[in-house]
């Protein structure tokens, strides 16, 4: 066997493989011999059918089997010979399958890039610190009181921040569309949970039936609705006003806080926010490290792998809204909207694999035990959690990857340059 490699665009390669005629003949004859011992044809005794007759009857199917067998056997050898790591199954084309000549086929595929990771650069990542102000704490408490408050019916026109209960039915150019209607739908005016114009049209209305106009955004996730004007028939049944929860023992109990007064409540909220902020600081810093790595290390990723990752992201998004991939329309979370993030994810995965080898990182049982011990402290019954995790191999493996990633981040922090960045707690909503 001999092979010839040719580079196409980016990571695409074409490998042309030539198999000697003798290999074909030997395999063809072997299959004829196997058939000969079992063949029963009229006019011939078992095992005595001439080769010429067998070839006439079975030659085409034997030829196809031999060609397939030779390709299956030679392809891995050709990859090894050329030191290739394919990222996709090959597209095989027979260039010559004349039984009197050497067998020649070509295989087209993408390969994984050869990455030599760089971890030293003048490019700096950002180490985040998040500042919590008194106003942030007060806003958090205000939000808690709203979330645990009660909606009470009022006999007046609706206003911003009210909740209305409505039935609605929408149409575009007189035609109904999927998801166009709902009954007893609760909507907080000003929440921006509906398409632009919908909530604004409900402000200043009392119990009644009426029609409103609203327009689907141009980038709406369902392409058949994007940019279209819609008319909605509204039945406004109820207007409700929010009475925020009082800061008292009843609220403390609902929040599972063992405290007695408002001062300690505010202190506890600050503690919880600080705990949340530590996680946010860690995640934002890690994200900045990853962005820096991608700037320092420039390489292409296999298109087929990027597409597979995008399909996984789309599937996950569909599952979150209760849709199955096979049943969902193509314009529901279009695949191309995931491609950019999918490419970034694939590149990071490839880079991580090389960096783990670069730093010779591994997760010991002690590392894993320590991580599980820390995780168990998040639960009321730590021992029950640890007992449960012993029978969850997939979860344990996920923990192992988390520990490995943290080890990698720790090493990168030592090798990369950084600069401090302080942001306000209120900015987190934009991160």
Beta-carbon contacts of residue 100 (< 8 Å; ≥ 6 apart) = 21
Q: What is the pLDDT of residues 301-342, one digit of tens each?
A: 999 999 999 999 999 988 888 888 777 777 778 888 899 999
57 in a structural domain: yes
Q: What is the pLDDT of residues 13-62, one digit of tens each?
A: 999 999 999 999 999 888 877 776 666 655 565 656 666 766 667 778 88
* Residue 394, CA distances (Å) to 19, 113, 390 in order: 44, 29, 10
135 in a structural domain: no
- Which of the listed residues 59, 91, 110 is the one where a domain comes to its end? 110
- Which of the listed residues 110, 138, 173 is the one where a domain comes to its end? 110
- Which of the listed residues 110, 128, 158 is the one where a domain comes to its end? 110
Measured distance CA(329)–CA(314) in Å, rounded: 12
Does residue 298 share a domain with residue 425?
Answer: yes
42 in a structural domain: yes
Q: Residue 97 — pLDDT band, cuts 50, 70, 90?
A: confident
131 in a structural domain: no
Q: What is the pLDDT of residues 410-423, one digit of tens each?
A: 999 999 999 999 99
Does residue 285 share a domain with residue 186?
Answer: no
Helix H, strand E, coil C: the string for the chain is CEEEEEECCCCEEEEEEEECHHHHHHHHHHHHHHHHCCCCCCCCCCCCCCHHHHHHHHHHHHHHHHHHHHHHHHHHHHHHHCCCCECCCCEEEEEECCCCCCEEEEEEEEECCCCCCCCCCCCEEEEEEEECCHHHHHHHHHHHHHHCCEEEECCCCCCCCCEEEEEEEEEECCECCCCCEEEEEEEECCCCCCCCCCCHHHCCCCCEEEEEEEECCCCCCECCCCCCEEEEEEEEEEEEEEECCCCCHHHHHHCCCCCCCHHHHHHHHHHHHHHHHHHHHHHHHHHHHHHHHHHHCCCCCCHHHHHHHHHHHHHHHHHHCCCCCCCCCCCECCHHHHHHHHHHHHHHHHHHHHHHHHCCCCCCHHHHHHHHHHHHCCCCCHHHHHHHHCCCHHHHHHHHHHHHHHHHHHHHHHHCEEEEEEEEHHHHHHC
Q: What is the mean pLDDT of residues 116-130?
A: 89
Q: What is the pLDDT of residues 213-226, one digit of tens each?
A: 999 998 887 888 98
220 in a structural domain: yes
Question: What is the reported pLDDT for 221?
Answer: 78
Question: What is the reported pLDDT for 380?
Answer: 84
Q: 199-234 burial by CB neighbour count: b if 16+ within 10 A, else e?
A: bebbeebeeeeeebebebeeeeebeebeebebebeb
Does residue 420 share a domain with residue 288?
Answer: yes
254 in a structural domain: no
For 10: left if phi > 0, alpha if psi spans -120 to 50, otherwise beta; the answer is: left
Q: Decide if pLDDT at 129 tops 90.
A: yes
145 in a structural domain: no
Do the Cβ atoms of 279 and 92 come closer than 8 Å?
Answer: no
Does residue 327 share a domain with residue 207?
Answer: no
Does residue 285 share a domain with residue 203?
Answer: no
Q: What is the mean pLDDT of residues 285-291?
A: 95
Does residue 213 share a domain with residue 161?
Answer: yes
Backbone angles phi, psi at 278, to 5 degrees: -60, -40
Residue 48, domain CATH: 3.30.70.1050
Do the Cβ atoms of 109 and 402 come closer than 8 Å?
Answer: no
Does residue 415 share a domain with residue 327?
Answer: yes
Q: What is the pLDDT of residues 62-77, one digit of tens each?
A: 899 999 999 999 999 9
Q: What is the mean pLDDT of residues 289-299?
A: 93
Place of tokens 């030599």: 116
Question: What is the reported pLDDT for 349?
Answer: 95
Question: What is the reported pLDDT for 191?
Answer: 92
pTM of the model as a whole: 0.77
Beta-carbon contacts of residue 242 (< 8 Å; ≥ 6 apart) = 146, 149, 150, 151, 152, 161, 162, 163
134 in a structural domain: no
Angle at 355 between CA 352 and CA 356, to 5 degrees: 85
Question: What is the reported pLDDT for 48?
Answer: 60
Residue 238, domain CATH: 3.10.50.40
Question: What is the reported pLDDT for 120?
Answer: 77
Q: What is the pLDDT of residues 227-271, one digit of tens each?
A: 999 999 999 999 999 999 999 999 999 998 988 899 999 999 999
Does residue 289 share a domain with residue 155?
Answer: no
Question: What is the reported pLDDT for 46?
Answer: 60
The CA dihedral of 350, 351, 357, 363, to the nearest 10 degrees, is -80
Does residue 230 share a domain with residue 367?
Answer: no
Does residue 78 share a domain with residue 176?
Answer: no
Question: What is the reported pLDDT for 39?
Answer: 64
Measured distance CA(5)–CA(149) in Å, rounded: 69
Residue 283, domain CATH: 1.10.3120
Q: What is the pLDDT of residues 130-176, one digit of tens each?
A: 999 999 999 999 999 999 999 999 999 999 999 999 999 999 999 99
Does residue 15 share a domain with residue 101?
Answer: yes
* Residue 43, CA distances (Å) to 40, 51, 167, 204 in order: 9, 14, 83, 97
**Nearest by Cα to 238 from 132, 162, 320:** 162
Q: Would you state the structure tokens that stand for residue 54, as one six-digit string?
A: 């067998």
Does residue 289 share a domain with residue 204?
Answer: no
Measured distance CA(191)–CA(162) in Å, rounded: 10
Range of the domain at 190: 150-243
How many domains in the chain? 3
Measured distance CA(278)–CA(273) in Å, rounded: 9
């Amino acid at each position: 066997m001999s092979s010839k490699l040719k580079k196409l665009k980016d990571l695409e390669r074409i490998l042309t493989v030539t198999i000697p005629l003798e290999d074909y003949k030997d395999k063809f004859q072997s299959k004829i011999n196997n058939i000969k011992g079992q063949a029963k044809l009229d006019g011939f005794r078992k095992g005595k059918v001439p080769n010429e007759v067998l070839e006439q009857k079975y030659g085409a199917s034997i030829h196809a089997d031999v060609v397939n067998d030779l390709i299956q056997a030679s392809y891995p050898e050709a990859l090894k010979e050329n030191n290739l790591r394919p990222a996709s199954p090959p597209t095989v084309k027979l260039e010559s399958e004349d039984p009197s000549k050497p067998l020649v086929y070509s295989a087209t595929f993408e390969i994984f890039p050869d990455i030599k990771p760089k971890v030293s650069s003048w490019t700096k990542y950002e180490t985040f610190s998040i500042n919590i102000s008194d106003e942030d704490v007060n806003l958090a408490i205000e939000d808690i009181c709203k979330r645990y408050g009660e909606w009470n019916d009022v006999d007046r026109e609706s206003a911003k921040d009210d909740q209305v209960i409505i039935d609605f039915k929408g149409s575009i150019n007189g035609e109904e569309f999927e998801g166009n209607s709902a009954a007893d739908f609760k909507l907080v005016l000003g929440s921006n949970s509906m398409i632009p114009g919908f909530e604004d049209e409900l402000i200043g209305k009392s119990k009644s039936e009426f029609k409103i106009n609203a327009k689907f955004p141009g980038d709406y996730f369902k392409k058949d609705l994007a940019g279209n004007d819609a008319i909605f028939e509204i039945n406004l049944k109820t207007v409700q006003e929010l009475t925020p929860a009082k800061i008292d023992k009843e609220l403390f109990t609902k929040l599972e806080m063992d405290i007695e007064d408002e001062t300690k409540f505010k202190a506890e909220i600050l503690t919880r926010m600080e705990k949340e902020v530590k996680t946010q600081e860690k995640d934002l810093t890690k994200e900045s490290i990853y962005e820096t790595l991608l700037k320092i290390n420039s390489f292409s990723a296999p298109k087929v792998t990027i597409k597979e990752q995008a399909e996984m992201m789309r599937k996950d998004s569909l599952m979150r809204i209760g849709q199955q991939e096979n049943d969902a329309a193509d314009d529901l979370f279009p695949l191309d909207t995931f491609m950019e993030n999918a490419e970034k994810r694939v590149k990071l995965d490839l880079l991580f694999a090389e960096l783990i080898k670069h730093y010779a990182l591994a997760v010991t049982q002690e590392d894993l035990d320590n991580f599980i011990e820390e995780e168990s402290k998040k639960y009321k019954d730590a021992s029950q959690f640890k007992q449960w995790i012993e029978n969850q191999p997939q979860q344990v493996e996920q923990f192992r990857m988390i520990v490995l990633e943290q080890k990698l981040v720790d090493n990168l922090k030592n090798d990369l340059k950084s600069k401090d960045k302080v942001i306000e707690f209120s900015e987190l909503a934009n991160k």
